[in-house]
Structure formats: structure tokens, C-alpha cells
Amino acid sequence: MSIYLDNAASTPIHPEVIEVMLNSLKNDYGNPSSIHDFGRKGRTAIEKSRKSIAQHFGASIGEIFFTSGGTESNNMALKCGVRDLGVQRIISTPIEHHCVLHSIDRVLKTDGVSTDFLKVDTEGKINLKELESLLTKYQSEIVMVSIMHANNEIGTLQDIAAISALCEKYNAFFHSDTVQTVAHYPIDVNQHPIHFMSGSAHKFHGPKGVGFIYMNQNAILEPFIDGGAQERNMRAGTENVSGIVGMAKALEMAQERSTEDQNHILSLKNQLKKGLLAYNSNISFNGPEDDSECLSTVLNAQFPPHPKNDMFLMYLDLKGIAVSGGSACSSGANQGSHVIRKVREEDPGMAVRFSFSRYNSAEEIDSTLNCIEEILS
């Protein structure tokens, strides 16, 4: 038995994505910066992909830049925002992904940037009144607000429409880590003004090692990586043509199947939630109870204290079931989840993140529930 329920960490590549990538690897091997026909083929493939991705967000092609993934994109927005836009203060939350928190730590140390972290409630939501209060207080400073669209561990969706409106009102830059929501939730940069947002292909059935940053045309940065003139002088280095093509295809397919996939995934999440409660009513859940305020792809379950908790993830792995105790980027650190610590005053028991994709089935959820009962009985 092999059941993969760690899709918030990475998703399986769709077979059609692999097909277009193989075709690109075979035919687009010329350097896209070369002027000959082989190079022009690669350049055409990149620009076709850029146009497709830009249209998905209502952006212009000049606002999409390809990167190695969400981590690079978030680093670029924050570090270059301080360097090139003169950002003096960053307002964020304590439950951001580590690539955001560590980037903020870096500019705090190297550039003397001031930081404020908004409080989050027990569901991981920010208080918009607190955000507005801080924006009012710091109107004389150049401020960047950095708040993720959805939390990667507990699934909490923040109201980026309201956040972007406040940033626009108080003339603050707005950066959002949208890695968990790109391809899963509609994002229109015309309806919700945003300066920077990030995406990573492997979160929506595309390849690893490729992503993008959306950069509003009114907040263009200088290069984060210096060298050649690739990406319109914004990111040096020969482009990952097949990866970019694969990412565009994955995003296109996700858009086509959005409603169907969302309904299927949500049904699996609710099936697992009901099954866990039927097994043990003392199990609780981290994140919002309302489905409309939480990622359909993530269910974070808080198991009560049990002698097998310390080895629980390993027991599941031995049975062929892949889940997570939190962010994959911090697994192995054995320090617990910084997110859970912020949303729970006390942290009894064990938090386990189950995350789903279109490839999971109701039968897999039943098998997972049976294994959990066997392990903890």
C-alpha cells in the first residue's frame, strides 16, 4: 500500500505535464539567449508560457519573472524591496513560511529595517483593525506588508482583498506568499492590487525547481541574481525552459479543472475529518472550521497525548502512508511547529498535517483511518 497525503509539501507531476516537458527537452535544447533558430525556439516556448501564466492572474507579460521557486521569489520581494524601494518597515505575521521569516530576519540585521508582527487568533487569522492601526501609525515611513494568502501548515486563508485595499489606502507595498493558493484559488491582480506574489510549480502538479514572481509594473526591482540579461535583466542565468513550459501547462490544467478538483479534494478532507472524530472525539483541528476560510487541500489534526505520538509519523510511513508534522522545509529540525505554537497557548498532543490532491481517493482515506486506529489502539 502506498498513500501520499503530503501534497502541501509537493504534488505528483501530471502525466501531460511530463509529456510537454519531454517534448521541450528534446526540441528546445538551444540556449534561449542565442539568436539562431535553436535559441529562438527556446525563447518562443518561454514567452508563450509567460503569456499563459500572466493571463491566469490578469497580469501583463512584463510583470511575470521566472525563478527557481517560491523561496527565491519571496526572498527577492523582501530583500530587493528593502534595497531598491527604500522599505523601512515590514509588517508581517509570526506564522509565515520560514523563507519569509528568515528573509525578514536578514534585512533586520543587515539593513536595520523595523518589523512588526501582527497577532493571530487561534485559527491563524490576523486582525484587520490591528493592521490598519499600524499602517496609520507608520504613514510617514515606507512600509511593506508581507502576509501569506494561505498558511501551509494549518490552511488558514487570509483576506487578501481586504489587506490589499488597506495597503492601497495607506500607500504601502503589499507582498503575499501565494505558493499554496496559486492554481487552487482565483487571484486577479486587477481586482486585488498587489505588488509582489510568488508561485512554485511543484505545488500544483508541475516540476520542482521552477516558479515565478509577479512584480507590479509600479514596483519593479533590480536583479536579485546578477550576471546575464535573462528575464529582461531581472534574473541572470540560463532559463529552465522545460520547467517553465511544464509549469505553464500545469497551471493551465489546474484552471480547467478547478471546480471539479476543489469539490473532490474537499470531500476527501471532510471524509477524513469525520472519520478521525468518529475514532476519537478528543481529536481537534488546527485552522478555521469554516471551509471557505481554509485551504481545501490541508487538514491539520491535533491528536491527544499518546505513548506512540513520538513515532506516529514513522509508523504511518512504515505502512506506506506519507503525511507531515508541519512544513517540509523544517522537518527534521525537531523543534515543533512555529505555527502551532502561535495558534495554541498550550500544545498538548501532536499536530499532523494531511494534505490532498486530485490523485487521492476515498478508498485511500478509509485505509488511512484504519491504519491510524491500528497504530494508536
Catalytic residue among 167, 294, 329, 371: 329
Tally of CA atoms within 13 A in the half-sphere of 255 that contains its CB:
15
Q: Is 294 considered catalytic here?
A: no
Output b/e per residue, 227-259; b: 16+ Cβ within 10 A: eeebbeebbeeebbbbbbbbbbbbbbbbeeeee
CA-closest candidate to residue 142, choices 69, 195, 105, 184? 195
Cell 495558534: give the residue: 343
| CB count in 10 Å sphere of residue 35 | 9
The residues carrying an active-site annotation are 329
